Every structure is written in C-alpha cells, then in structure tokens.
Structure 1
Amino acid sequence: MSVPRKDQIIGVIGPAGFGGSYLCVELIRRGHAVIGLSRNPESFGTCHGYTPRQLDIESASIEDLARNFSDIDVLVSQYGPHTQGAGALQYMPYIEVVRKLILAVKLTNIKYFVFVGGAGSLLVPTTHECLADHPSFFLSYRQQMAESDAHVRYMEERLGPIGDGLRVYRNARLAVKSGTASSTDLQTIETYEDNIRNNDRASDYIKAGRAALLFFEGNTSFPWTFVSPSPLYRPGARTGSYEITIDHLPLKGERIDKDSILSGRLTGISSADLAMAIVDEIESPKLLHKHWTASADLSNDIAYPCYVTANEI
C-alpha cells in the first residue's frame, strides 16, 4: 500500500471525544489536514487544518457515510460511547455501525481504515481467552486503576458515580498500605471486590468491541488496521515512546500462575502516546491487516484532561 502524504486528508470519527481529541491534536501538530466527523464536530474547536463535518454515524445510511468519506484518504474511527459510560451503547447498535462503516469504506477510495476498538479483544498470553472473557480481568483491572490517582480522577470525570466508588476503594487500599486501615476500610475493600467478583462482567459494549474484530480478521477486501488500546488507557503525558504487540496483551513482570496471571501485570498507555502510535502508523504503515495494541510508561501519575481541544495546538 502507498504511504499517506502530509497533503492527504485524514478523517476522524469522534474528533471531540477522549481518544479522538488527542488524535486530532497529534495529527494537526504534524501538519495533517483533518476532517472531524460526528454530531457535534465543532466542539473540538477552530484551528487551521481542522474542518468539522456534521454527521450522525449511527443514523446515517451506508450511502450517506460513503458520500461523507468521498474526499478522505485515511479514515480513523474513534467511535464509541466515550462520555456516557461503557454500558451506554448496546451490542447490536454498535455492531451495526461497524458493519455500515466497513461497507461505506469499501465504496470509497480510502487508502487506510484505522479502527480503534477496545482492550477486550486482546488475547491473554498462554491461554485461548481474550481479555473480556478472562475470569480475573475485572478485579485486576479495578485494583490497578485504584493504584493510580490520575486514573481515578479520569474515571471520576468521565463516569461520575463509578469513579466516585473507585475513589472510596482507592482510599481504603491506601489506608491498608499505610497501616492505618479501620474496620470500615477493610469492609469497603471486601464489599467492593465481592461486588466485582459477583457482578462485574463484560458489558454489551465490551462484548461488541470484541466481536467487531471478526469483521476484520482475515478480510483483505479493504485496507484496515485494528487498534486495541491496552487496558490501563487514560489521559496522560506524551512520553514519545511505546511498544507494539500483535493480538496479545502485553503484561508486566513474570507470570505466577494461570489464576493470577493478570494480577498487578496489566499495561496501559496515555491517550497522547496512543495518538502518536496511530499517527506513526498512518504516516508509515506497517500493520496493514493486523490487530495490535500499544503500551507505554505510565509512571507519571499526573492527571490530564479527558478531552483536549484546538486550543492545545
């Protein structure tokens, strides 16, 4: 496939959302012309190199989508319920949108379709399970999120009550670490973790993101790459460095056993670093027809905003 040039047009579905806004900033800073496609693309702001194009991805027909994509060279989909929580969009509507996007892309001359999915489709090393199906994922995920003040702040800003509960859980865990835990703290941890074990399962949205990969795998009828952000994906600094892994979830440290393989070992990446990885792939494609993830250093635990705007450029 040809390498996109700086004079080509990059379309971003969801330009004002969490991942999409950081991606637009990265693209425009590198000199790319960006068309933002969503119901409210103007909320990203105004700057040279950015053109808002109002489009309701969910209600548009395949023909409407193709018409709006007709002048775009590279299309990046950051489509998802980024401001409403993981359960806001159900299984079938999500799958239907992905199906329409692919069919619309195939009606155009788009040179590369970059689809940003979820971490749930990543395979756990040494097993045949994907992350969304692994029995210890959700507990490990909440425990590691609670280790980071920046991640808890992100959850509070983006998800409201879910983030508030995570803050209480984090404070109780910190009290245990400092040796000052009360009986209330211990009960908070027990109740929170029991609830995760008994009730926290893959939502319809996570399952839909996992299933969406099946539209792509083995399909060479259009030029695509499928990006699954690593699990501890949050706003953060642009470190300028990341690692790419194909299909599998990269894990930190040494494996202990099958049941605890994820405990304390989940990796992540900042929205700024993932944006850099995606733009690097757009500028120099190496992962055509691949499902991949990127992970990076998250030791900087300073909270960053969920969404950025053209003012950041």
Structure 2
Amino acid sequence: MNIALIGATGFIGSRLLTELTRRGHKVTAIVRNPEKVPAGAGISARKGDVFDRDGLSALLAGHDAVISAVHFSASDAATLLAAVKQSGVTRYLVVGGAGSLEVAPGVKLFDTKEFPAIYLDEARKGGAFLDLLKAETALDWTFLSPSALIQPGERTGKFRLGKDQLLVDANGNSAISAEDYAIALVDELEKPAHSRQRFTVGY
C-alpha cells in the first residue's frame, strides 16, 4: 500500500516507518525536518506542517491510508481531521495514548492519582481526540492505545489485544515495546478489524 505517515521520525513514528517498509509498503514520511528521515527503498520524505490544513491535505492526497504519529499537545485535532477529510483519503489510523483507557468501570487511567502529572496534558488531549473521532462519520478511523508503559524493546510479535480497558499481565504490569506496538498497528492497516474503534495492545 501507499501510506502517508505523519511524524515518521518520532519515537513511535520511526518504528512504524521501519515496520511498514519491512513489509513492502511505500511510505511518504511527512515531517518537519525531511533530512532526518532515513533513506530506504519505498521511502519518500516530505516537509509538512500539522497546523497547515491545506498544505497537509495536499501531501496526504492520493494515498491508500494516513497514519498519524504526532503528539496531541503538538498538534490540533480539528486541523488534522480536516486535512485528512479534505485530502480524500478515508482510512485514518491514529497512534493513541494509554491515559484514556479504563482501569475500572468509568475510571480512566489519567483519572487515577498514580498517573504522572507530567503526562496529564498530553493524555487528556488524546482522550479529546478520541472523542472527536467517535463522532466522525466521514472517515474509516482506528485509534490504537498502547499499554501504560511503552518503551524501546524487542520485536516479538507476541502480545494481546484489548478494547477500552488497560491490559495488565499476571504481575499487574502494563507494558508493550514500541516495536511490537508498530506490528499491531500495521497488522490493523493490512487486515482491518477495528473500524471506527479504539483498541489497545499489551503483554
């Protein structure tokens, strides 16, 4: 497929770029600094501004799907959604956060006293982005939340999927490697199973 990847040099975006090209997809890497995009077969680096609706829309047009891997606090949800819709691309996958996952009925992770204050603004904006998507009818969207802890690690391909509840293992830990997160998102791209839904991945 021909994929537009917004934020391709970031923590998650770089793993997605690797996973996509590993599977033979063509990727337009849309970033602020194209010179930071690694050279590789099927990779085209383009300079883009997530706050420029018209400019971003022009970069997205003609692709089979758009993947957004930008921080919610470093972008504007309404502008991103408008750019995707204006581009004519209907398939939209979003790198989400864990904060809006439920840890108990009606209780989100970012509502707990243990949630780190430093991540609260980003987490709440991610939850607001998800709420916007849930009201969206023009796009075939998917929002993938990681587990509570996502960090560099191994590409194992062994993980569990969930929906709106935080996944924890037998020891009470909630974690996923960035590499395995990328597998889960590209799997969803290739074989959609969560159309207009949020889902999560963890060990």
Fold shared by both chains (TM-score > 0.5):
yes
Q: What is the deviation of 1:38?
A: 1.1
How many Å separate the matches in 2 of 1:27 and 1:244? 20
Partner of 2:41: 48
Q: Is the 8 A contact 1:22 1:271 kept in 2?
A: yes
Q: Which amino acid aligns with 1:284?
A: K
Q: Which residue of the other structure, out of 72, 80, 92, is the alignment partner of 2:71? A: 80
> Does residue 1:67 correspond to 2:58, yes or no?
yes
Q: Which amino acid aligns with 2:61?
A: S
> Does residue 1:272 correspond to 2:179, yes or no?
yes
Report Cα offsets for 1:208-260 as digits up to 9, x if no partner: 1121111012433211001111111000000112211011111223xxxxxxx
Q: Which amino acid aligns with 1:40?
A: N
Partner of 1:115: 94
Unaligned runs of 5+ residues in structure 1 are: 1-7, 82-88, 139-199, 254-263, 297-313
Q: 5 Å matches for 1:1-313?
A: 8-58=1-51, 60=52, 62-80=53-71, 89=73, 94=75, 97-125=76-104, 127-138=105-116, 200=117, 203-253=120-170, 265-296=172-203
Partner of 1:260: none
Question: SS at the partner of 1:274?
Answer: helix
How many Å separate the matches in 2 of 1:109 and 1:295? 33
TM-score normalised according to structure 2 size = 0.93
How many Å separate the matches in 1 of 2:133 and 2:102? 16
Q: Is the 8 A contact 1:230 1:268 kept in 2?
A: yes
Unaligned runs of 5+ residues in structure 2 are: none
Q: What is the deviation of 1:19?
A: 0.3
Report Cα offsets for 1:88-113 as digits up to 9, x if no partner: x4xxx64xx21111111112231410
Question: SS at the partner of 2:24?
Answer: coil
Q: Residue 205 and residue 54 in structure 1: after superposition, are their counterparts in 2 closer, same or farther (change >3 A)?
A: same
How many Å separate the matches in 1 of 2:55 and 2:107? 37
How many Å separate the matches in 2 of 1:20 and 1:51? 14
When the two chains are superposed, the root-mean-square deviation of aligned CA atoms in Å is: 1.7
Q: Which amino acid aligns with 2:58?
A: R
Q: What is the deviation of 1:286?
A: 0.7
Greater length-normalized contact order (CA 8 Å, ≥ 6 residues apart): 1
Q: Is the 8 A contact 1:133 1:202 kept in 2?
A: no
Higher gyration radius (CA): 1
TM-score normalised according to structure 1 size = 0.61
Q: Is the 8 A contact 1:252 1:267 kept in 2?
A: yes
Higher strand share: 2
Question: SS at the partner of 1:101?
Answer: helix
Q: Is the 8 A contact 1:12 1:76 kept in 2?
A: yes
Q: Is the 8 A contact 2:153 2:179 kept in 1?
A: yes
Aligned residues with identical type, % of pairs: 34
Higher helix share: 1
Q: Which amino acid aligns with 1:71?
A: G
Q: What is the deviation of 1:44?
A: 2.3
